[in-house]
A = this chain, B = another copy of it.
Amino acid sequence: MATEASHSLLEDFEGRGPIARQSLHEAIVARVRDMIIEGELAPGTRIHEGNLGGKLGVSRTPLREALKFLASEGLVELSPGRGAVVRQFSAKDVYDSLVVLGALEGLAGRLACEQATDKDIREVRRLHDHMMEMYASRDRLPYFKLNQNIHSAILRLTKNEALAYVHGTLQARLRRIRYIGNEGPEKWAAAVADHEEIISALEARDAERLSKVLTVHMERTWERVRNSI
């Protein structure tokens, strides 16, 4: 099985102007992370440094560095002498992560109501409205991505980097699960209803209500995804 003579990340990088100041390291991390999230690298798969490097058009050295980075994030596991393996998350892992995310988003809701500027909140409203358009037209993928963006945005509103960071790492672990979790119409509608309340509580700067609905939203998320694991 020959490695597809594909598109080189390095060329991408060199092609960019001075605007995209990201390093090749970050590009590889982002690319491999996406491959894991989108299932191109299935959980449990042993990552072959030669093949993957060839596919991405980079040598093993920067690829290995990226894998260590992802290992620290918890997306891959390192087994000494046997390289990196795409981490498998059990149903319990997912549930546990959602419990923690519930607590983190609960805290974020409280802080966001205190810290956010009116402009910040309008920005979230814009994302929300856009997401609702995607719901109206039943465009799953854009809806999914906007959904993620809204949650990340609320985390950023807290202006608490540590909070945004830990939320981000847990979120990344679950992104794949949510990505595949295509819930039915009634569950989707319930999720949308949650989001209506989220934006409403945020605009009212009702810390308790926002905190509560975000935590409950996480619990309901578990109900939605538990069968697709």
The chain A residues found within 8 Å of chain B, CB to CB, are: 21-23, 25, 61, 64-66, 68-74, 78, 80-81, 93, 96-97, 99-100, 103-104, 106-107, 111, 160-163, 165-166, 169-170, 173
Residues of chain B with a CB closer than 8 A to A106's CB: 103
Given A69-B68, A73-B72, does the pair A80, B166 have CB atoms closer than 8 Å? no
CB <8 Å contact, A161 and B93: yes
CB <8 Å contact, B23 and A96: no
- If over half of A's interface residues share one DSSP class (helix, strand or loop), that class is named, otherwise mixed; here it is helix
CB <8 Å contact, A22 and B80: yes
- Return A158 CB to nearest CB of chain B, in Å: 8
- Return A63 CB to nearest CB of chain B, in Å: 11
Residues of chain B with a CB closer than 8 A to A25's CB: 68, 78, 80
Supply 10 further A-B pairs (C-beta < 8 A) apart from A23-B81, A25-B80, A65-B68. Answer: A65-B65, A68-B69, A72-B73, A96-B160, A97-B162, A99-B111, A99-B160, A99-B163, A100-B163, A100-B166
**How many Å lie between the Cα of A72 and that of B70 in the bound state?**
8
CB <8 Å contact, A93 and B23: no
CB <8 Å contact, B22 and A161: no
**How many Å lie between the Cα of A161 and that of B69 in the bound state?**
19
CB <8 Å contact, A23 and B100: no
Q: Please give me the residue from chain B that is nearest to A99 by CB atom.
A: B160
Q: Please give me the residue from chain B that is nearest to A21 by CB atom.
A: B80
CB <8 Å contact, B65 and A96: no
